[in-house]
Amino acid sequence: MNSSLGYITTLLSLFQSVSAIPTAQAPNKFNWSAKKGIIAFGDSYTYVQGTHGHQNYSFIGDQFNYAYDPETLLSNMIVQNQVHSNSPIPSKYVLYPSGIRTNTRPETATAEGGPNWIEYLTNCGLEPGMTSPRSCQKQLWDFAFAGADISTEYTPLHHNFTVSLVNQITQFQEYGHSTLSQHLRETETLIAIWIGINDIGDSSKYAVDFPTFYANLTNTLFTSIDTLYKLGYKSYLLINLPPLDRTPSNQATSTPHPNATQVTWYNDALAAHAEQFGKKRNVEMRVFDAHGRLSEIMESPGRYGIVNTTGYCAGYDQLDVGVNYKEYGCPVPVEEYFWFNSGHLTSHVHRILAGEIERWLMR
């Protein structure tokens, strides 16, 4: 297999000359201030807990609870029950939503131990307790599922209840769109998608030509995005892969999975398809360069109040770790780490990232 040749051939098949979309030069098409809400899809980097969701995995439903009615959707609440602060967490904020529970780890509300980027971006669901998306100035309807890959055509489900990205969009088409469109017009809505983190990790050891594999994978992604386009949505925010070659475990080995080249290949394929889709459909389509921005933060962590970029606090999943971090052997508070655990960013980094995304959207 000639990987370099495959890479060039694949990208040329997408369009004649392709490069990743740089943050500073992205076309200014969004009127972010006029958007009334976000509808989101993706994996654990974007998932928020809902009172009708699968505990630790989703805002609403799962593969075994796939259908939902308008009343269930509109009454669903975003849960925020783990907050890192300098004061103890009141017991009334340790909530137990009505969704299906797993007992493998403490119940939390995101995969970051606190609000994530999309909650910071919309300012929706930040307060401890429960928040109705409809009560937020920018509504947040989040259909991301923790552990999701793009499609089982390429990688297996993490759990039998996992909802892949393809199925998230199909589920929304069948049960969510008609209801939400009565409360949030398509023209006032931004579709946000952050996906690929599990895909590249799950497939990093496959015996394939990776540039071709990633091109096919992202082609499937945009086939699903086309479903949203046909529903009337014309504004899209995509986010590329973070520096997954620099997770704590990958920094500790000479053979990281995925490696930096694989991450670059995936991000190039995503940018290529986004460029092509945006021009073909004449829609607002932008890719935020999270990889570049997060890499810069890792290179100059002190500027952002971060002191550890190579490890994470062992007690990250304990509800009181934000206050009692030393009891779990952590020399500094969780918010001073870059990594929350072996593969996720801290809520602090998500807050920084959300600020960068908002400024970028306003350009």
pLDDT digits (tens, 9 = 90+) for 189-199: 999 999 999 99
Note the pLDDT tens digit of each residue in 204-253. Answer: 999 999 999 999 999 999 999 999 999 999 999 999 999 999 999 999 99
Q: What is the pLDDT of residue 1?
A: 44
Task: Give the helix/strand (H/E) hosting 238.
Answer: strand 235-239
Residue with the bigger pLDDT between 355 and 20: it is: 355
Q: What is the pLDDT of residue 248?
A: 98
Residue 69 pLDDT more than 70? yes
Q: What is the pLDDT of residue 29?
A: 61
DSSP helix/strand/coil, 140: strand
Lowest-pLDDT choice from 28-32, 65-69, 121-125, 271-275? 28-32
Pairing between β-strand 284-288 and β-strand 37-42 as defined by DSSP bridges:
unpaired
pLDDT band at 30 (very low <50, low <70, confident <90, very high): confident
Q: How large is the average pLDDT for residues 294-298?
A: 98
Architecture of the domain whose range is 3-361: 3-Layer(aba) Sandwich (3.40)
Residue 273 pLDDT more than 90? yes
Residue 105 pLDDT more than 60? no
Lowest-pLDDT choice from 4-8, 185-189, 221-225, 338-342? 4-8
In the numeric block, the tokens 């086309």 are attached to: 226
Q: How large is the average pLDDT for residues 359-363?
A: 92
Collect all residues with Cβ–Cβ distance below 8 Å to 300 and sequence separation of at least 6: none
**Whole-structure pTM over 0.75, yes or no?**
yes
Q: What is the pLDDT of residue 82?
A: 53
Residue 27 pLDDT more than 70? no
Angle between helices 347-361 and 290-299 (to 10 degrees): 130
Q: Average per-residue pLDDT in the chain?
A: 88
Per-residue tokens: 336: 């001073």
Residue 23 pLDDT more than 60? no
pLDDT band at 321 (very low <50, low <70, confident <90, very high): confident
Beta-bridge partner residues of 284: 235
Q: What is the pLDDT of residue 20?
A: 38
Cα Rg of the chain, angstroms: 19
Beta-bridge partner residues of 288: 239
Q: What is the pLDDT of residue 137?
A: 96
Domain ranges of the chain: 3-361
Q: What is the pLDDT of residue 58?
A: 98
Q: Please, are residues 155 and 149 in contact by the beta-carbon 8 Å criterion?
A: yes
pLDDT band at 81 (very low <50, low <70, confident <90, very high): confident
* Nearest in space to 141 (alpha carbons), one of 26, 217, 50: 50
